[in-house]
Structure 1
Amino acid sequence: MKIISVRYVFIFVGLLLLTSYSPTSTREISKEQLLMRLVRQNLESRHYLENNIDDAFSKKVFKEYLEGFDYRKQFLTAEDVAELSTFEIKIDDEIKAETFQLFDLSMQIRTKRWAEAKQYYQEILASPFDFSTDETYETDIKKIGFAKNEAELKERWRKYLKFEVLKRVYNTLEAEDKKDKKENAKTFAQIEEEARKAVLKIMNDWFLRMEKEDIAAKRATYINAITACYDPHTTYYAPRAKENFDMDFSGKYEGIGARLMTKEDGTVKISEVMPGGPAWRQGILKAEDVILKVAQGDGEPVEVTNMLLDEVVKLIKGKKGTEVRLTIKKLDGSLSVVPIIRDVVLIEETYAKSVILENGDKKKIGYINLPGFYADFSNSGGRNCGEDIKNEIAKLKKEKVDGIILDLRSNGGGSLTEVIQMTGLFIEKGPIVQVKGRRGKPNVGEDEDPQIHYDGPLAVMVNSMSASASEILAGAIQDYKRGIIIGSKSTYGKGTVQNMLDLDRYLPVSLDNIKPLGALALTVQKFYRINGTTNQLTGVIPDIILPDIYSAYEEEIGEKKEDFPLEADQIEPLKYNIWTKNENKIAKAKANSQKRVSKDNVFQLISENAQRIKQQNKTSQVSLNLDKFREMQKKYVEEAKKYKVINEYESGITITPLKADFERDNIDSTTKARIDNWYKSIKKDIHLNEAINVVKDLM
């Protein structure tokens, strides 16, 4: 396998550029000025997009900063916004002058409004709420403007706090109704008071944490309003925030094995469950789940909404063998408490693995699961996914499988070198991907090895969370017509390449006293399919689209939901030879799959449930009347009962371990338990079951 003409081997943020920086002036310069200078110079000279830092750009930055500064519109009044607006077309001048007058003014206003907001919530929560009145609360922040004055701002706080108390009152009432014994039941007054006290504690804790936030983190918010106007993946990380970049709950391989991020509304969501970690083995926690509370074993749960990310991490991290309980909200709106025993995150489990599957006949389908496009560049003898997939294919061929499924669902990407090598295993030779910077011709990642390691029926599974390298492989397989792509309506739609610049590496020894400056993730390239199109925004559209939960959130998941994504464009296509063996088979497989899915009750329920959730999410106004709120929640619960069969589904898939893996999979009871859990998830996977049928149609 030979790979040529690829200068950058990562398609995720992670490559450190070892460059140096010499100040253009010997005058005294502050840390903040130097930071702004480095950010601006890199944006102007190295970012893929040639953006003019002018008044038009300034307006974009101002809007972005204002939205991030007071996302829920609970602090600023229209008068404050008017005062800040004097800088709306001056930010470009500030960037060039390396000044922070807008930022300083916003901090002054914040201090004043912060003190007033503390008085609001303490006063409001001191008295019981009347839940018999007929009023509503708007949960969609985009539908409201900034408060006209302090009175309207206080009223907004009242409704927000009433809603938070109402949710807790409702949950307690539902729990009380399920109790067998009623003699010790709490009175409504007790329930309401406890709910108010709980919300008061949350607010006190949150304000205290926010007050402790250092100025560097606040300044990073301002700088990121600037970087965000280039594209959503160009981001400045303050020194402390850099430690949380791609933060996983497990610390250094010890914890629960997941990654998280803070959403704009203050909630904390799972961005990735690390394959092989305790959360992955447990099987309930999924990407996009929102964490509401964290408890240590059977201790009192701590609400984490609006909590600093590193504080949430501290609550979740812990010693191996200890239990943490996460209260989570799933994509379908359901709530559950997920107990997880912390453990060492075993790297072995993040690697590719395979089994043989059958679903009703004697056709043997090889199933390869690839969690990520990994590569160990620090160790010449380390593992890489391209070589591992080649080995898995060899093992499956030895077992004489009739077809292969490569599962890239929720695979967020990784090494560009590996995806080129891996795609080359399935074709004779030819180009795999084009990579282009802001200037010059595209570089081509090409497989020049004529050997085909597997030439049989092939299906590649993707979903809306399959990104970057996953999209390159799926796109190439589709362009060559080498196999069939199965999955969500589209993949994530990320077609850009980032480099991570350690800003400290730009500084000479004479400026060591200014360190640390943090890091800048900078978008420097876009990648294109061999047919000249891009995966940017549109993603890869599968040949066969199966109903799934992600269709309920198609406008909220993916690159297209971002404010300033790079545009989708095209370049010249390359010459490549179509795989002729699948000319008629792919169309036949698509038609057969459509017939099966249309007649399958569970698939229909999945589709219905996604539409139900989509419609439910459009209702942004919530009644603050307890009776009406309970009635609405009862309606949602009743509607959800119809779809319980989705979680109860069993495919009937027969799983046969590979002979070559028997010793590895049974090395100890812990490993065997992990493999057994994997098998259980396979048997409940309706999408995988259909993929087996599709591969058989390709034979």
Structure 2
Amino acid sequence: MKRKFVYFLAAMLISAASCSFTNKTFDNPDKDKLLVDLITYVLEKGHYNPEELDDDFSSRVYDRYIEALDPLKRFFLKEDIEEFEAYRNAIDDQLKTSDLSFFSLTYERLLKRMDEANVMYKKVLEEPFDFNKDEAIDVDYDKLDYVNTRDELWDRWKLQLKLSTLERLLPAKREKEEADEAYEIAELEETARENVEQTFSEFFDIYDDLQRKDWFGIYLNAVVEEFDPHTFYFAPEDKDRFDMSMSGKFEGIGARLEKRNDNIRVTEIISGGPAWRGEDLEVGDVITKVAQGNETPVSVVGMRLDDAVKLIKGPKGSEVKLTVRGVDGSIEVITITRDVVEIEETYAKSSVIERNGRSYGLINLPKFYIDFTDYEERNAATDVALEIERLKESGVEGLVLDLRNNGGGSLKTVVDIAGLFIKEGPVVQVRSTGRGKEVLADEDDRIQWDGPLVILVNELSASASEILAAAMQDYERAIVIGSSQTYGKGTVQNLIDLNQFLRGDNDFGDVGALKLTTQKFYRIDGGSTQLEGVKSDVVVPDKYAYSPIGERDQENPLPWDKIDPVPFEKWEPSVDLQAAVSRSKARIATNEQLKLIDENAKWIRDRREEKVIPLNLAAFEADVEKDEEDAKRFTKIGEYETGLKFQPLSYEIALMEQDSVLKKKRERWYKDLAGDVYMEEAINVLEDLRMSDIKQGKLAERSGMKN
């Protein structure tokens, strides 16, 4: 399906690209114009529901873009905004003519205002704050207007910096009081102010690292995201990160880095990677130079983080030499042979859950990952199948598939995973504008797991997670436990490499990619998950219940609709699903832990709606103390114990003996799960289903299951 679309779009664009985009030499402005031409054409011809580029569209893009540039309204003056307003209804015309004057104006003005703010915040922090003064700050930035003068901007910065200082001063004051130590407020205030200056210095260092192309990417995404929330332009570096997030792997040394005070610092060594195996590079080390093999080293001090990472990463088997300053000040040259690095947190992981002498299986799937270049490489479907086999060998009597916080991924892996639990049949319907629908089905009649199945979801379970949960619900194959509804993303995106439309040599390099909404998917019963998500069979209160985080809370989501269902045969269960659902609902209604979680979610909502914060020390401290007192009743949430025991599978025990980092991660995971009331209810449901199995005389017939 994806390949058909890419070929279709490529056929349309190659003719345009061959006459308009090739055999030219482009400097940066020409490259920007090229991107505008490419992206607007792809959007017009390939988007599922293309927008009309008119004045209304232009106005919405204008608002989105200005907000992205200055969300806290602490850079631009009202006079800037009034000047920009002349372009409010002109962006559509500029897109059609590749006119970049609006972007150039806002970019140059922003740099000027940022330079002014960089001076301003330092001057503000030269003088101590008076925390006896009765004043407050309004942090409802959406409702704030832009200021008229620089003096008013100074006042706005002063309030923001005063709040930041106060947030550091109060903990220091309370620490002194708890230790019964003497202190002077003036000294604590000075230290807090110095810490704020350091924080904002690092903030402006990050801004200083941004180049024109980075800001142009923000402009482009203000345009493309107006089509829908999931259409997005990826600059070349961003595309690499997206590919890495989808596949869970990259080629490099296996270290996470950050830039601080012009230094490239190691923040994490990734387990199993080349740096981890070499044991020379350590967290806290500062990389000062990078050399490719025997070439001359290049200094990375003061270099943009992205540019330094480009030098350090490289193809498998190549050699990189890092000049490193250790935490003790020693200087060393470390040689590392690059390799494929797998990010373990991306992949499916499993555990055996023990309670009352019974064993159940848990598979946690963080995303539906895939290597776009080769499906035979590691992917979510093959990993889940493997974990099921390992759990069956452990004799588990039921299975929990945890899709909480899983934002989606590959559509193909969803169909393949669904096929692990049903004999065969349709899984999802997909429809493109102006074309008939396509039904994606499991065509393999093998069943990997035919036992009791529970799927856990929450408000952050999106896209592919919703497809799988919906299919299992429609087949009556599983009981879905979780939030009242999932995220509500019922659209399909294709990643379009924009470079494929350019032919011949060019001087402007990689132009990036466009993640484009090309289709909508529908349940096999015909309903869309767009906006509405998947309704859980058993609704469990959770901390996200009152948070505006779903698709319906986005600015311009595509609408909900419905198409005809497709024929399918429901699962013939040996268990009474509805009876298990009824028992679960009865337990939840009387569960004090879940009532407390619901109260906490409401409290968090109410706190989030409080927008005016006092900047008087006594008033601020009184508010903090009140919040702490109110929050005490929620401490029991973190103290809850389910009594469930979590054990690694035998193959992982050996890995954990060799890898202390993996061992710590798993132990932390097991500890979190041991207090997870949702997991507890999932096991309760599996026990109900197991008992129903026994009554039906089916449990003993299932291979790999205990009696």
Normalised by the length of structure 1, the TM-score is 0.80
State the one-letter code of the partner of 1:570: K
Q: Distance in 1 between matches of 2:122 and 2:663?
A: 54
Question: Which of 358, 364, 371 lines up with 2:366 in the alignment?
Answer: 371
State the one-letter code of the partner of 2:490: G
Question: Which of 491, 497, 507 lines up with 2:492 in the alignment?
Answer: 497
Residue of structure 1 in register with 2:608 after alignment: 617
SS of the aligned residue for 1:459 comes to: strand
Residue of structure 1 in register with 2:216 after alignment: 219
Query: Contact (CA 8 Å) 2:249, 2:343: kept in 1 or not?
Result: no
Figure out how many residues of one structure are paired with residues of the other and give that number.
626
- In structure 2, relative to structure 1, the CA distance for the partners of 1:71 and 1:253 (3 Å cut) is same
Question: Which of 384, 388, 407 lines up with 1:389 in the alignment?
Answer: 384
Residue of structure 2 in register with 1:142 after alignment: 142
SS of the aligned residue for 2:130 comes to: coil
Residue of structure 2 in register with 1:529 after alignment: 523
Question: Which of 565, 584, 592 lines up with 1:573 in the alignment?
Answer: 565
Q: Distance in 2 between matches of 1:85 and 1:658?
A: 62
SS of the aligned residue for 2:49 comes to: coil
Residue of structure 2 in register with 1:230 after alignment: 227
Compare 44-53 and 201-210 and name the one that shifted more.
201-210
Residue of structure 1 in register with 2:92 after alignment: 92
Q: Distance in 2 between matches of 1:312 and 1:153?
A: 35
User: What displacement does 1:138 show?
Assistant: 0.9
Pair 1:540 & 2:537 matched: no
Query: Contact (CA 8 Å) 1:432, 1:445: kept in 2 or not?
Result: yes
- In structure 2, relative to structure 1, the CA distance for the partners of 1:8 and 1:172 (3 Å cut) is farther
Q: Distance in 1 between matches of 2:390 and 2:205?
A: 57
Residue of structure 2 in register with 1:207 after alignment: 204
Q: Distance in 2 between matches of 1:673 and 1:384?
A: 25
Pair 1:402 & 2:394 matched: no
- In structure 2, relative to structure 1, the CA distance for the partners of 1:617 and 1:648 (3 Å cut) is same
Deviations 1:626-646, CA, capped at 9 Å, x for gaps: 100011111222222322222
SS of the aligned residue for 2:19 comes to: coil
Residue of structure 2 in register with 1:267 after alignment: none
State the one-letter code of the partner of 2:353: L
Percent identity over paired residues? 39
Give the CA RMSD over aligned residues: 3.9
Residue of structure 1 in register with 2:354 after alignment: 358
Q: Distance in 1 between matches of 2:568 and 2:421?
A: 14
Q: Distance in 2 between matches of 1:396 and 1:674?
A: 20
State the one-letter code of the partner of 1:198: N
Question: Which of 421, 435, 446 lines up with 1:440 in the alignment?
Answer: 435
1:110-259 aligned at under 5 Å gives the runs: 110-179=110-179, 182=181, 185-245=182-242
Pair 1:688 & 2:679 matched: yes
Residue of structure 2 in register with 1:335 after alignment: none
- In structure 2, relative to structure 1, the CA distance for the partners of 1:256 and 1:394 (3 Å cut) is same
User: What displacement does 1:240 show?
Assistant: 4.5
Deviations 1:560-594, CA, capped at 9 Å, x for gaps: 33222222222221112223437x83332232222
Residue of structure 2 in register with 1:40 after alignment: 40
Q: Distance in 2 between matches of 1:421 and 1:580?
A: 20
State the one-letter code of the partner of 2:232: T
User: What displacement does 1:348 show?
Assistant: 6.2
Q: Distance in 1 between matches of 2:307 and 2:192?
A: 23
Deviations 1:65-98, CA, capped at 9 Å, x for gaps: 1211221111223332221111111111101110
SS of the aligned residue for 1:366 comes to: strand
State the one-letter code of the partner of 1:568: W
SS of the aligned residue for 2:440 comes to: strand
Deviations 1:411-462, CA, capped at 9 Å, x for gaps: 2323222211211222232110011222201111112333433332211111
SS of the aligned residue for 2:20 comes to: coil
Q: Distance in 1 between matches of 2:516 and 2:452?
A: 40
Residue of structure 2 in register with 1:336 after alignment: none
Q: Distance in 2 between matches of 1:444 and 1:660?
A: 38
Q: Distance in 2 between matches of 1:498 and 1:365?
A: 36
Q: Distance in 2 between matches of 1:368 and 1:208?
A: 42
- In structure 2, relative to structure 1, the CA distance for the partners of 1:66 and 1:662 (3 Å cut) is closer
Pair 1:560 & 2:552 matched: yes
Query: Contact (CA 8 Å) 2:2, 2:494: kept in 1 or not?
Result: no
Query: Contact (CA 8 Å) 2:426, 2:441: kept in 1 or not?
Result: yes
Question: Which of 416, 426, 429 lines up with 2:424 in the alignment?
Answer: 429
Deviations 1:518-571, CA, capped at 9 Å, x for gaps: 222222122111111222222212111222222242x1x232332222222222
Query: Contact (CA 8 Å) 2:237, 2:306: kept in 1 or not?
Result: no
Q: Distance in 2 between matches of 1:113 and 1:670?
A: 45
Query: Contact (CA 8 Å) 1:250, 1:256: kept in 2 or not?
Result: no
Residue of structure 2 in register with 1:608 after alignment: 599
SS of the aligned residue for 2:217 comes to: helix
Residue of structure 2 in register with 1:22 after alignment: 18
State the one-letter code of the partner of 1:515: G
User: What displacement does 1:602 show?
Assistant: 2.1
1:45-56 aligned at under 5 Å gives the runs: 45-56=45-56
User: What displacement does 1:258 show?
Assistant: 12
State the one-letter code of the partner of 2:558: L
Structure 2 segments unaligned to the other structure (5+ residues): 259-267, 274-282, 287-303, 314-321, 328-338, 693-707
Query: Contact (CA 8 Å) 1:275, 1:371: kept in 2 or not?
Result: no
Q: Distance in 1 between matches of 2:422 and 2:383?
A: 17
Compare 631-640 and 445-454 and name the one that shifted more.
445-454
User: What displacement does 1:313 show?
Assistant: 9.2
Query: Contact (CA 8 Å) 1:393, 1:453: kept in 2 or not?
Result: yes
- In structure 2, relative to structure 1, the CA distance for the partners of 1:447 and 1:73 (3 Å cut) is same
- In structure 2, relative to structure 1, the CA distance for the partners of 1:482 and 1:475 (3 Å cut) is same
Residue of structure 2 in register with 1:284 after alignment: none
Residue of structure 1 in register with 2:289 after alignment: none
Q: Distance in 2 between matches of 1:167 and 1:246?
A: 38
State the one-letter code of the partner of 2:555: D
Query: Contact (CA 8 Å) 2:221, 2:233: kept in 1 or not?
Result: yes
Residue of structure 2 in register with 1:304 after alignment: none
Query: Contact (CA 8 Å) 2:271, 2:661: kept in 1 or not?
Result: no
- In structure 2, relative to structure 1, the CA distance for the partners of 1:453 and 1:319 (3 Å cut) is farther
Compare 670-679 and 109-118 and name the one that shifted more.
670-679
Residue of structure 2 in register with 1:697 after alignment: 688
Q: Distance in 2 between matches of 1:631 and 1:176?
A: 17
- In structure 2, relative to structure 1, the CA distance for the partners of 1:237 and 1:450 (3 Å cut) is closer
- In structure 2, relative to structure 1, the CA distance for the partners of 1:566 and 1:635 (3 Å cut) is same
Higher relative contact order (CA 8 A, sep 6+): 1
Pair 1:71 & 2:63 matched: no
Compare 35-44 and 639-648 and name the one that shifted more.
639-648
- In structure 2, relative to structure 1, the CA distance for the partners of 1:297 and 1:609 (3 Å cut) is farther
SS of the aligned residue for 1:143 comes to: coil
1:268-283 aligned at under 5 Å gives the runs: none
State the one-letter code of the partner of 2:203: W
- In structure 2, relative to structure 1, the CA distance for the partners of 1:312 and 1:125 (3 Å cut) is farther
- In structure 2, relative to structure 1, the CA distance for the partners of 1:82 and 1:446 (3 Å cut) is same
Compare 590-599 and 110-119 and name the one that shifted more.
110-119
Query: Contact (CA 8 Å) 2:25, 2:507: kept in 1 or not?
Result: no
Compare 688-697 and 402-411 and name the one that shifted more.
402-411
State the one-letter code of the partner of 1:534: S
